Structure 1
């Protein structure tokens, strides 16, 4: 067993022998039990004595073993033998399974919805396609999915009446995620989006996907898939969700096929993800770490998606449209659904409007304000929904406050956006404004009820951030912001003191009045008695 650092190796061996209780044994720690680090990252050994006899065990790198480790290996011999056997069995089992699948691959799978391909197979395909492009003198950055299918995929099939998924698989495989691609888009963009999605979702190579160029017989698509309407319904219904990789033009984004797939996902409660070459967006369910955006999803693509009129969606190929009536079928599907096209567009805005709002907050100006009101004014739009947050948990209010775009900030706050929204480390828009020294943003946030004393996950309030001025190297000045926040804090404390004093005085006055009333009543009674 080896590791880059001997200290890491010792920590791992400790853990294997006794779990967390022994993990730090033999390593230098401070009085609080934390590792003493060199250069901020490297742990240190407490004992570096090595074995010295001629028969002493040596490590895999040829060095003499440390006495500490040698004693652990000897005292926990059975445990390490068991671990070695488990690892060996798993490796041999995986090798046998891989060999068996390779030997049995190439069977016919009638139903397209059973022809999944693994993420590992897609990665291998993309790598080979990229190499083929280089050998053919073609540009990988511009070569479209349609061109790849007509040339490279057909070359791999080599005249066989089958799909690549069938050639690679030893049996039916149900896709977990359906990939919605645009045939006229570059393959490189889909490959980039797929990697963003795989990392955000922490997919393993064995995850099963549906990707049309690999799952249908590209030599005879119409014969292989005569009923696409049934196929896509079955794919969506039996998968976890959809990854729709968006092209860069409105004409290619607003397509009947994409409309149908998004509609089916909405009504089946399936997950929807949007992808581009720069990042991915989760629309209905967050990624593994609870985030809704990974990388940077292009705002212009989101704006086209949510601002377009989907009643004008058309089929990619007019000939096929006339043949199978795709446009008419999808048109009727939407019109007969709850809310029709207006309902679909509002639904899409609710889950994909985040990049549009955040981009408007960044740009500022009258046009940005119009866009904010247009988005926030949609039926059922929840401006404080978590789905609208960026990759760091930031909202449009955070961005407008940091940028000092007061028109956009006021518009967001007028639309009831939360002035105290928290990002992934619980920093509020006030923290962002303090960091960039945006005095106007601080004043506006205070006017709309922002709490300047709110602390982040690092126990820092906005005043502390302004005093530290972490963006000073960018030429940021926070002196005025610091003065305002300090004055606001003093005024708040004075107000609390005055309020407390007023409460005490009021209570004292009420008590005095009550006592006087009691004494007066006694006097009256005495007087009455005397008179009697």
Structure 2
């Protein structure tokens, strides 16, 4: 089922909620679309990705804010009948939590980029949310932890790691959050990931470790300096790191 999502006022229609709930009950694949993307809400696309395109934040917010009891209807008799129908099945709150889980990925990634740990904490409290769910990943298979690492968002990193997000999760190219921190020259982010048991020996699809990415410094032409990350990961390669005694040459904060 392909479901077009727009603004909250357009989403909050009682028959639209009924159609979505019916599709889930019948086991039909559900795809949510807006002008810039399609989100595979229940069944990933071939290849494992759940996002095609760039998710409009308005789409995610529409899902997050949808409340069945506030949904509009031309005929109030329809609304009463549909609310009774919801009550006979999973219930309204369970349906709303499902929509929130579908919306969680783009909101988590945006919060990670903004280092908004309060928003991340709120999303992580959505009932039934699994942080390893494919629908939480971006179009390249990146998790919110990848995004936080690339942006040097220390508060977001701590929050996501404390919530149980895997520090060794690979994106579509098997690059880990540590690879992203290395590429962006984010030494504090690299230290936090190592302290959380990120494996510095993990290789990407291209057979590269995070240290090798930092040494190559592919974003150097943008002014990104990876020297401190190279120094940190080089020391880890020589001395080893168990997360409890982190070798570092900078003022990194260890979890």
Q: Please, what TM-score do these two structures have when normalized by structure 1?
A: 0.44
Q: Is the 8 A contact 1:256 1:330 kept in 2?
A: yes
2:85 pairs with 326, 329, 333, which one? 333
Q: Is the 8 A contact 1:254 1:305 kept in 2?
A: no
Alpha-carbon deviation of 1:442?
A: 0.4
Unmatched 5+ stretches in structure 1: 1-241, 494-532
1:331 & 1:370 partners in 2: Cα distance? 33
In the alignment, which residue of structure 2 is the partner of 1:360?
A: 111
**Could you say which structure has the greater relative contact order, defined with CA pairs below 8 angstroms and 6 or more residues apart?**
2
In the alignment, which residue of structure 2 is the partner of 1:343?
A: 94
Alpha-carbon deviation of 1:331?
A: 1.3
**Are positions 1:490 and 2:238 aligned together?**
yes
2:57 pairs with 299, 303, 319, which one? 299
Q: Is the 8 A contact 2:11 2:66 kept in 1?
A: no
**Are positions 1:267 and 2:18 aligned together?**
no
1:304 & 1:409 partners in 2: Cα distance? 26
Q: 1:350 to 1:331 in 2, by over 3 A?
A: same
1:412 pairs with 143, 155, 160, which one? 160
1:411 & 1:491 partners in 2: Cα distance? 28
In the alignment, which residue of structure 1 is the partner of 2:15?
A: 257
1:160-179 CA-partner distances (Å, limit 9, x unpaired): xxxxxxxxxxxxxxxxxxxx
In the alignment, which residue of structure 2 is the partner of 1:246?
A: 5
1:269-294 CA-partner distances (Å, limit 9, x unpaired): 11111111111110111123321100
Taking only aligned residues, the RMSD between alpha carbons, in angstroms, comes to 1.4
Indicate the SS of the match to 1:432. Answer: helix
1:327 & 1:459 partners in 2: Cα distance? 57
| 1:165-176 mapped onto 2 (5 Å cutoff) | none
Q: Is the 8 A contact 1:421 1:428 kept in 2?
A: yes
Alpha-carbon deviation of 1:482?
A: 0.6
Unmatched 5+ stretches in structure 2: 242-255
Alpha-carbon deviation of 1:308?
A: 3.4
Indicate the SS of the match to 2:240. Answer: helix
In the alignment, which residue of structure 2 is the partner of 1:170?
A: none
Q: Is the 8 A contact 1:300 1:356 kept in 2?
A: no
Indicate the SS of the match to 2:194. Answer: helix
Q: Is the 8 A contact 1:303 1:353 kept in 2?
A: no
In the alignment, which residue of structure 1 is the partner of 2:37?
A: 279
* Higher CA-based Rg: 1
**Are positions 1:472 and 2:231 aligned together?**
no
